[in-house]
Amino acid sequence: MTEFLLVMALAIGLGWPLGRYLAAVMRAAPMRVDVLFAWIEKPIYKLIGTDPSRGMSWRGYAKAFALSNLAVGSIVWVQFMTQAWLPLNPDDIPNMRWDLALHTMVSFLTNTNQQHYSGQAQLSYLSQMVGIVGLQVVTPMMGLAMVVATLRGLFGGRDEMARVDGHGYAAEGGDRDVGNYWADVVRPTFRFMLPLCLLLSVLLTSQGVPSTLAAGPTVTPVDASAEMKAQKIPLGPVSPMVAAKQLGSNGGGWYGPNSATPLENPTPFSNLIETLAILLIPIAIVFMIGPFTGRRRLTAFVFGTMLLMSAASSGLAMWSEAHSTTAADPALMEGKEVRVGAEATALWAAVTTQVNNGSVDGMLDSLAPLTGLVSLTDMLINAIWGGIGCGLQQFLVYLLLSVFLAGLMTGRTPELFGRKIEAQEVKLLALLILLQPLVVLGFSALTLALPQFTGNSNPGFHGISQVFYEYTSAYANNGSGFEGLGDNTYWWNLTCSAVLALGRFPSLMVPLAVAGLMAKKRPAPESMGTLRIESATFSLTLIAVIVILTVLQFMPALVLGPIADHLTLVAN
């Protein structure tokens, strides 16, 4: 628990000023660094053909988001399938098979980083640096842009919110201006994300994380045998990728074992700063809400709700590991981070699933079943801290539904900040909530029912957990997995690609559509009858709605998976 308190204190202490700075960046407020970044941003706007001061409707914004993903994804997919013929491939890595390349592209395009490959053996340096790290930097900023546009729709539009800075924007069409998508991606990429990645990369390099373009050395193992007289140690520009994977809620490692290998995570200090990096930007985005929207109490409400769920999740995970493993029994420590202890492994597992990160410093498949239950629950909720942008976006979905339900229970017209929530908005939100069980449970059932076609070779309750976890992780855009599942097959690559896309794009675009519809409505002035959401009572109501809408509807799958697995171990 001490480690959790230390990491959380650092994340809050650093996240607060970062959130205020990020709010200024996303409002396009005048800043001293404008001169420094203008020479980078202006040529990009000219190349794209956009005026950053020209606003978009929510439809135009969503269209730009979809087109940018399609263009970038197509380029990266081709790169993976042709990497053997491209430069920066000193280890002679072959081309990726088309289905694995498709899954890898969709996985990183959706800010998920679910890996059905081993990075050091199946990707060239160019693929890692351009395809993987490029997406790890850009796609989090795409998610951030979408939630910022949603906030503009809910809180009055960019033209109204920009009055804080004294300058206006041109709206588009009859819809409310929700911002310029291209500017909302470019500005935080260069002014926020890349500077943080550079700083963390330098810190990781100082701890011994490799950062080189040279080929890895060949060494003689201590236990050399006739079968393996020499071993090649894969290196590369690892620290920049690790920085991007941790800060950007990405999680895909340079190496197959991720941060469980000393080459990505060599020291206790590197373990601390990598754990901190997972939480830093999602917490900063929560602190961005107040100065961005002008509603300071809303920041306290969102932060308090998320912190309460985070503390419960982390505490249960660390308790589970502390009561199921002991350092004195090496057999029970298999797969856990023995350098810093089982509790640190459990803390990372909780934090990485509270955030859509998915990186690991130990094998999740080796954790106690109840720890796996915590990780699954975190991903099903997908809004404890959440990924960059998409976590707050999912939180807003729960908030809107909670306001609607609370309004009905108290006999009031459901409205959020003066704007009514009516049938059209509720239908869209309901479809989004129903999509998760249909996709996750549907593909899990097919996989378990047809093992002769799907390649699921893990029997028993733990096998159910592995399959359920894989699709839950894909839908939540988390990317972590219960290793031991043979997932580099046509079935897993293609079905997970579909689940990745269904978990990412509707969850970002539907709330934007709802915000766009609500933005057209004339806000009513607040009165004594207005539902006050910025309170501890409503925070508990929101948590109850989250539990009902997510955890309870998946209870049968959780009982057949991690809970039954735990009861089996206890009985034995």
pLDDT tens digits in sequence order for the chain, 572 residues long? 677 889 999 999 999 999 999 999 999 999 988 988 989 999 999 999 999 989 999 999 999 999 999 999 999 999 999 999 999 898 889 999 999 999 999 999 999 989 888 767 788 989 988 999 999 999 999 999 999 999 999 886 544 555 444 433 434 445 678 999 999 999 999 999 999 999 999 999 999 999 888 877 888 777 766 666 777 788 888 999 999 999 999 888 888 778 888 889 999 899 899 999 999 999 999 999 999 998 889 999 999 999 999 999 999 998 888 776 444 455 455 556 666 667 778 888 899 999 998 888 777 777 888 988 999 999 999 999 999 999 999 999 999 999 888 888 877 778 887 788 888 999 999 999 999 999 999 999 999 988 887 776 667 888 899 999 999 999 999 988 887 777 888 999 999 999 999 999 999 999 999 999 988 887 777 666 667 888 899 999 999 999 988 888 899 999 999 999 888 877 76
Domain count, the chain: 1
Closest CA to 290 of 303, 271, 277, 305: 303
Q: Which domain holds residue 545?
A: 392-571
Gap between the Cα atoms of 252 and 249, Å rounded:
9
Residue 402 falls inside a structural domain: yes
Q: What are phi and psi of 116, to 5 degrees?
A: -100, 20
Q: CA gyration radius for the chain?
A: 23
Nearest residue to 180 via CA among 167, 170, 165: 170
Does 242 fall in a domain? no
* Amino acid residing at 347: L
How far is 242 from 250, CA to CA, in rounded Å? 9
Q: Is residue 224 part of a domain?
A: no
Residue 420 included in any domain = yes
Query: For residue 94, is it within any domain?
Result: no
Q: Is 460 left (phi over 0), alpha (psi -120 to 50) or beta?
A: left
Residue 220 Ramachandran class (φ > 0 left, ψ -120 to 50 alpha, else beta): beta
* Domain-embedded: residue 444: yes
- Answer whether residue 89 is part of any domain: no
Answer whether residue 374 is part of any domain. no
Residue among 217, 211, 214 nearest 254 (CA): 211
Report the C-alpha gap between 513 and 506 in whole angstroms: 10
Taking the C-alpha atoms of residue 252 and residue 358, their distance in angstroms, rounded to an integer, is: 7
